[in-house]
């Protein structure tokens, strides 16, 4: 069940952490009502800066805040914040600046259409050295992650959706960037995803296991960078294959990152579910997820075919 949209949880966390850490300042680009940074703005007006519709200047200012000893949290819609201001982010990463980019409306946003979906942000961000990239699977994980976001000294990018994901974690879940979050053990195929990918894998796994008579492992890849490679590979090395599910272009997202790791050690057959290198149009999010194959049927078919493939 989806408890709250992750942007609402984000807004509440900002208020909570803003109290604890006086160095936190928040920047937004005329989207504070959508990203929910408005909650922080209301509570701490002196530490909130609405930079207007100017993502580049917002990011540049964050760099300035960072070298002045503040902890800038930069928000906005994912695609405009990561895309328009990328070169600024790149330099922040070069100097390992303590900036926290936390954006909402990642993945398929719905009716706004192709200019607003964010399906390329991981490619842009994953190519930046020093950057920690996080993608929480539910509200529980987002809350636990937030401690780390502030504790880690260095640039962080966190990718949040517009809505929420149904829970995959219990309240006592502990997050660590070094930890591999195995949600369910299994011995045939590993399903690996982040955000919506995790939700889809976790909530379809039981019915698929029954229908196909397979044993599936589910890993929530909520730390996209840096990944503890040794630990991750240990979890998949004895399996027959891996399927990556991501609400992102299949090129240069988590599929590409994991495929490289696996190819360099003990190659395993892999399959990929994601946006197949196209731009996505307007429509209801659910319709679009269906059209672009981010659904249970496609997942089941991929698992089935991969099982057959491994028999030959």
Ligand X SMILES: Cc1ncc(C[n+]2csc(CCOP(=O)(O)OP(=O)(O)O)c2C)c(N)n1
**Which lies closer to ligand X via its Cβ, residue 118 or residue 254?**
118
**Which lies closer to ligand X via its Cβ, residue 178 or residue 281?**
281
Q: How many other C-beta atoms lie within 10 A of the C-beta of residue 8?
A: 16
In the block, residue with structure tokens 């680009």: 29
CB of 81 vs other proteins, minimal distance in Å:
12
**Which lies closer to other proteins via its Cβ, residue 51 or residue 239?**
51
Per CB under 6 A, the list member of 53, 67, 230, 278 interacting with ligand X is 53
280 closest CA partner among 298, 301, 270, 294:
294
CB of 120 vs ligand X, minimal distance in Å:
15
CB of 55 vs ligand X, minimal distance in Å:
6
Q: Is 80 in the site for ligand X (CB under 6 A)?
A: yes
Q: Is 114 in the site for ligand X (CB under 6 A)?
A: no
Are the beta carbons of 157 and 101 closer than 8 angstroms? yes
87 burial (CB, 10 Å; 0-12 / 13-18 / 19+) is: exposed
Q: Is 43 in the site for ligand X (CB under 6 A)?
A: no
291 binds, among ligand X, other proteins, none (CB under 5 to 8 A by kind): other proteins
Residues ≥6 apart with Cβ < 8 Å to 295: 200, 289
Per-residue contact string for residues 204-243; x = within reach of ligand X by CB under 6 A: ----------------------------------------
Q: Which residues bind other proteins (CB under 8 A)?
A: 28-34, 38, 50-54, 56-57, 79-80, 83-84, 110-116, 281-284, 287-288, 291
Q: Is 157 in the site for ligand X (CB under 6 A)?
A: no
Are the beta carbons of 145 and 181 closer than 8 angstroms? no
Residue 218 has phi, psi (to 5 degrees) of -125, 125
Residues 185-204 as b/e (b if ≥16 CB within 10 A, e otherwise) read: ebebbbbbbbbbbbbbbbeb
Cis preceding-peptide flag for 279 (omega within 30 of 0): no
**Which lies closer to ligand X via its Cβ, residue 114 or residue 207?**
114
Which residues are near ligand X by CB under 6 A? 30-31, 53, 80, 84
């Amino acid at each position: 069940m989806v408890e709250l949209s992750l942007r609402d949880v984000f807004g509440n966390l900002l208020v909570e952490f803003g109290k604890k850490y006086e160095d936190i300042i928040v920047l937004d680009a005329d989207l504070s009502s959508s990203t929910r940074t408005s909650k922080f703005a209301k509570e701490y007006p002196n530490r909130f800066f609405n930079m207007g519709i100017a993502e580049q200047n917002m990011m540049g200012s964050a760099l300035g805040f960072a070298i002045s000893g503040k902890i800038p949290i930069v928000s906005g819609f994912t695609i405009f914040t990561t895309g328009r201001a990328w070169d600024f982010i790149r330099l922040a990463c070069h100097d390992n600046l303590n900036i926290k980019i936390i954006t909402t409306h990642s993945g398929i946003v719905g009716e706004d259409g192709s200019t607003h979906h964010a399906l390329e942000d991981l490619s842009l961000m994953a190519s930046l050295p020093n950057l920690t990239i996080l993608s929480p699977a539910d509200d529980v994980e987002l809350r636990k992650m937030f401690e780390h976001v502030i504790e880690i000294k260095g640039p962080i990018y966190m990718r949040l959706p517009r809505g929420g994901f149904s829970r995959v974690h219990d309240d006592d879940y502990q997050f660590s960037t070094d930890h591999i979050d195995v949600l369910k053990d299994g011995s045939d195929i590993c399903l690996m995803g982040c955000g919506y990918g995790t939700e889809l894998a976790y909530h379809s796994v039981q019915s698929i296991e029954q229908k196909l008579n397979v044993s599936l492992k589910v890993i929530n890849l909520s730390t996209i960078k840096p990944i503890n490679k040794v630990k991750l590979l240990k979890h998949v090395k004895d399996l027959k294959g891996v399927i990556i599910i991501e609400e992102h272009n299949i090129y240069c997202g988590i599929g590409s990152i994991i495929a490289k790791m696996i190819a360099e050690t003990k190659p395993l057959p892999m399959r990929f579910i994601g946006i197949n290198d196209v731009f996505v149009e307007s429509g209801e999010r659910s319709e679009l997820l269906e059209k672009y194959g981010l659904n249970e049927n496609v997942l089941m078919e991929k698992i089935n075919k991969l099982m057959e493939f491994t028999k030959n």
